[in-house]
Structure 1
Amino acid sequence: MDQTSLSTAGWNLRQSYANLPKEFYSHQKPDPVKDPGMVLLNSPLASTLGLDFDDYEEKVLANLFSGNELPPGSDPISQAYAGHQFGSFTLLGDGRAILLGEQVTPEGNSLDVQLKGAGRSLYSRRGDGRATLASMLREFLVSEAMHGLGIPTTRSLAVVTTGEPVYREQVQAGAVLTRVASSHIRVGTFEYASQYLGKESLKALLDYTIQRHYPEAAQDENPGLAFFHQVLNQQAALVASWMGVGFIHGVMNTDNMSIAGETIDYGPCAFLNTYDPGTVYSSIDVQGRYAFGNQPKIAHWNLSCLASALLPLFHEEKEKAVSIAQDALNAFPFRFKEHYAKAMGRKLGLKERRDGDDSLISDLLQIAEEQRWDYTHTFLFLQGDMPGGKLQGSELPAFQAWYRRWNARVTGDGIPLSEIQRAMQSHNPKIIPRNHLVEATLSQAVQGDIGSLYRFLEVCQNPFETGKYTRLFQEVPDSQWERGYQTFCGT
């Protein structure tokens, strides 16, 4: 396969990240794989990118998305960064990911195209640079489900098998995921620049990131501070959207926090079933640092790491810079509360925020926790879409009293409850990637039944619709299965 043949697919790649100082990356070609095979191709996403693979044979595409062949215009690199992992700072980098470049879409947007699991790099340390098929299918499935839910996220273009084994707890099939993102710049990228490269390189990274993501910040008298405020607001909105659908990221290290405000790195992620703020599924989060209810405060903590890295660019005097950073950080709880109130208000049919709404939300969640209600079903019940029409325990006095408060609140302007409930339907998903169904689907797909994954993906990409699969995908696991469920990073 030559470069000319690939050029007809619509590739329009550039590599602006390589204009940064050389310490930010290393040139790195993907390691060839033995026998690549296509598993998944996201044709709608390809179309958005301006790519058309309809005329290409599967073997050609498998070579392309495995990294055995490179698209025209690519300049493969691996990015250097650092990060706080479970609170401890360490030097990191793309240990198994290679950035081919940025695809300029027909609309003029620049989106990173990255191969994940493409082999060892300068930053691999003791890692093998590879990825398992199950973990790459999980990222494909959950990232596309998050996109369907309207939550900012990296996306998945393709998955290919490598024809080679990967050694984890067990021997598993190897795979490569093609990931698309607004960028792969992380909080940890700024920590790396601040800790190891100095002020000049830190300023170069800031200027590049502002130009790429927050160009309006360049016009501010303090661009670094304006940039920080933008990132803080994006993160507050992102985590509020996670909380609204019961998403648990599982490993909110600073190297997994995108500056662009997208959900990134779907390792031990999962979705809440029974409402419990202390829920943890990740096998490596033994202290519960990244529990569902901790996610807002962890985002705040991560932003403090970003602020610390940016101190030299806030002000030349350190004491003044720290004061500026602290003032900026103090805005996070208020910004998160605003975004969370909006997200939860839409779920409850509240048209605008009023006094008493915060307690209306918190009181419902307290009842849901006490009754061990399914988080998704709680809101479906309120909008009249509960499977079977009943929520066990909804007849109890505490909930009945709450329901009367809510009914009076949402119908207080003379709008019928039925109309309120119709409006709620576009904010309360009927379908989420239930953990037990994700595991069953991945197990079937790894064994060769990829059709089951396509069917699951189809309904997860349309989570607010009622279709023929609705009853199946609203099933909840039995409590014994749920208590024993764990997720793993796949590295």
Structure 2
Amino acid sequence: MTTSPLSLQEFMLENQFAELPAHFYTHLAASPIDKPYLVAASTEVAAQLNLDQASLNSPEFLNYFSGNQLIPGSKPLAAVYSGHQFGVWAGQLGDGRALLLGGTSHAEQHLEIQLKGAGMTPYSRMGDGRAVLRSSIREFLCSEAMAALNIPTSRALCVIGSDQMVFRETPETSAVVARVAPSFVRFGSFEHWYYNDRMDDLRLLADYVIALSYPELQTENNPYQALLATVTTRTATLMAQWQAVGFMHGVMNTDNMSIIGQTLDYGPFGFMEAYDEKHICNHTDQQGRYSYRMQPAIGNWNCQALAQALSPVIGSVDDTNAALSHYPAVYRKKWTELMHQKFGLKTDQEGDLDLFAGFFTLLQSNHADFTLSFRHLSKLSNQKSTKDELLRDLFLDRDGLDLWLLDYRARLGMEQSDDKTRQASMLSVNPKFVLRNYLAQVAIEKAQKKDFSETRKLLSILKNPYDEQEEHEDYAELPPDWARHLEVSCSS
């Protein structure tokens, strides 16, 4: 196996999804875009693909990853799937603006490449199949930011722009994002065959997913039950990870849920700023179905939808329910583990959950900034000191915070916490930098003027979210007043 990076001339793909029967997808080429140019690229993702980084600046790279030229071995296709959208069965959906090119394996990892914004497909549902520069930059930056936060996610190799115009609320320039993931199969992929009463195809898809993504399950007594149990566990774990960093997906439809438990399909996402558990990051979500506090429950609901789809191949209601039943316990265990890390506690003691709840109550009543509150908490000493002031400045109710800090420090004393060790541990899990909406907006507005320096700078900062990076202190500050009016919706 080749270990040295490949040039573009050596780079090849193989589309394993294309080996499924033809009714699982539609083969079609990408629609060319005019005069593609590089907005930004991730050298980390290039390395994962074993792609020579020098290739990122070549004309061939622009043509390959804009869809203007076919990568050797690729078989571009748009996959069909269905799904529940905002809790309502939406029927057939599918890749309306994305093409799966194929995959490659390196260092015992299989990765597939999908071009988002590559043009119309049979599943475009009256859309133009394009992505706008605005949403493409947001997805690129957030994919890489989430990876740096150690949260399972699809990645983004690059954003390639074009002056070609598309119309949303207003005319905008278009772009293509090269997305990378071990699999792009969704919960809705299984729902499609279940609701069309195509049980042979349902089983075929399950066998494909197990062989590609969960080969260890092939020897289980009931591989399909084991598949549901594993996906349920991964999804519950992912929801706890989202909650722990204040990430909100915004559109948790079953067609946006990854069968391998990764964060998938970045649209109207957001990171919590002024804490409000009812916060809705998606302006389209008028009912708040996908608000921050609802995400864990919706993750469970989506797993139930997947369970319904898989039940015919699992074989019995009891076996299906058994695989699904672990979700609440897995979520609670992972969330509790992450909270102990965020609060710098090494042991699990009675009263810890009440202590955590007390801090979140203060966050809620003061609308204190989520990320900065935990970051400043990480720097406190076991004894009251001037370090308290940065945290206290985020809260209007300083007396209430001071009372909570007395309890918190008493809890630290129970395990004889060492300041230096605890602070280092907390700083390694409480990020200083997240992709705040206003930071993305500044980068987008510059990019729309062909200045991509801010997008690339922001990528560099977000790759190291736990480092102090004192030279970039302003990227960790509270959002400016104008940022309060930013809205993000599904129309990208």
Cα pair 1:268 1:488 within 8 Å, conserved: yes
SS at match of 1:278: coil
**1:333 maps onto 2:328 in alignment:** yes
Partner of 1:412: 414
SS at match of 1:290: coil
**1:460 maps onto 2:462 in alignment:** yes
SS at match of 1:113: strand
Structure 1 residue 205: deviation in Å?
Answer: 0.8
Q: Deviations over 1:324-357 (max 9, x none)?
A: 3334333211110111111111100122333222
SS at match of 1:115: strand
Partner of 1:318: none
Alpha carbons of structure 1 residues 8 and 442: separation in structure 2 relative to 1, 3 Å:
closer
Unaligned runs of 5+ in 2: 1-5, 381-386
Structure 1 residue 62: deviation in Å?
Answer: 1.6
Q: Deviations over 1:75-121 (max 9, x none)?
A: 1111110010101112100001000001222x132111011100111
SS at match of 1:13: coil
What CA distance in whole angstroms lies between the structure 2 residues aligned with 1:322 and 1:261?
Answer: 23
Cα pair 2:137 2:444 within 8 Å, conserved: yes
Partner of 1:27: 27
* Equivalent residue letter for 2:458: F
What CA distance in whole angstroms lies between the structure 1 residues aligned with 2:8 and 2:454?
Answer: 32
**1:444 maps onto 2:446 in alignment:** yes
Alpha carbons of structure 1 residues 141 and 480: separation in structure 2 relative to 1, 3 Å:
closer
Cα pair 2:251 2:268 within 8 Å, conserved: yes
1:382 to 373, 377, 381: 377
Partner of 2:405: 403
1:342 to 337, 359, 362: 337
What CA distance in whole angstroms lies between the structure 1 residues aligned with 2:417 and 2:283?
Answer: 47
Cα pair 2:392 2:398 within 8 Å, conserved: no
What CA distance in whole angstroms lies between the structure 2 residues aligned with 1:395 and 1:490?
Answer: 39
Cα pair 1:37 1:58 within 8 Å, conserved: no
**1:291 maps onto 2:286 in alignment:** no
Aligned residue runs from structure 1 range 100-111, under 5 A: 100-105=101-106, 107-111=107-111
Alpha carbons of structure 1 residues 19 and 55: separation in structure 2 relative to 1, 3 Å:
closer
1:364 to 340, 359, 362: 359
What CA distance in whole angstroms lies between the structure 2 residues aligned with 1:55 and 1:214?
Answer: 32
Q: Deviations over 1:126-155 (max 9, x none)?
A: 010111011111100111111111111111
Alpha carbons of structure 1 residues 56 and 293: separation in structure 2 relative to 1, 3 Å:
closer
Q: Deviations over 1:203-242 (max 9, x none)?
A: 1111111112222222211111111110011111111111
SS at match of 2:166: strand
What CA distance in whole angstroms lies between the structure 1 residues aligned with 2:443 and 2:36?
Answer: 22
SS at match of 2:177: strand
Partner of 1:206: 206
SS at match of 1:411: helix
Partner of 2:3: none
What CA distance in whole angstroms lies between the structure 1 residues aligned with 2:50 and 2:482?
Answer: 47
SS at match of 2:180: strand
Partner of 1:421: 423
Cα pair 2:8 2:55 within 8 Å, conserved: no
Cα pair 1:84 1:188 within 8 Å, conserved: yes
Cα pair 2:96 2:120 within 8 Å, conserved: yes
* Equivalent residue letter for 1:445: A
* Equivalent residue letter for 2:248: I
**1:278 maps onto 2:273 in alignment:** no
Aligned residue runs from structure 1 range 88-167, under 5 A: 88-90=88-90, 91-105=92-106, 107-167=107-167
What CA distance in whole angstroms lies between the structure 2 residues aligned with 1:53 and 1:470?
Answer: 26
TM-score w.r.t. the length of structure 2 is 0.93
TM-score w.r.t. the length of structure 1 is 0.93
Structure 1 residue 404: deviation in Å?
Answer: 2.2
Structure 1 residue 408: deviation in Å?
Answer: 2.4
SS at match of 1:334: helix
Cα pair 1:381 1:391 within 8 Å, conserved: no
Partner of 1:227: 227
SS at match of 1:159: strand
Cα pair 1:82 1:192 within 8 Å, conserved: yes
Q: Deviations over 1:24-70 (max 9, x none)?
A: 11111101222222222222211221111515764322211111101
Structure 1 residue 446: deviation in Å?
Answer: 1.7
Cα pair 2:94 2:123 within 8 Å, conserved: yes
Structure 1 residue 394: deviation in Å?
Answer: 7.7
Partner of 1:70: 70
Q: Deviations over 1:182-209 (max 9, x none)?
A: 1100000010121125111111111111
What CA distance in whole angstroms lies between the structure 2 residues aligned with 1:128 and 1:437?
Answer: 28
Aligned residue pairs, count = 479
Q: Percent identity?
A: 37
> Would you identify which runs of 4 or more consecutive aligned residues in structure 1 move more than 6 Å?
385-388
Structure 1 residue 447: deviation in Å?
Answer: 1.4
Cα pair 1:132 1:172 within 8 Å, conserved: yes
Partner of 1:3: none
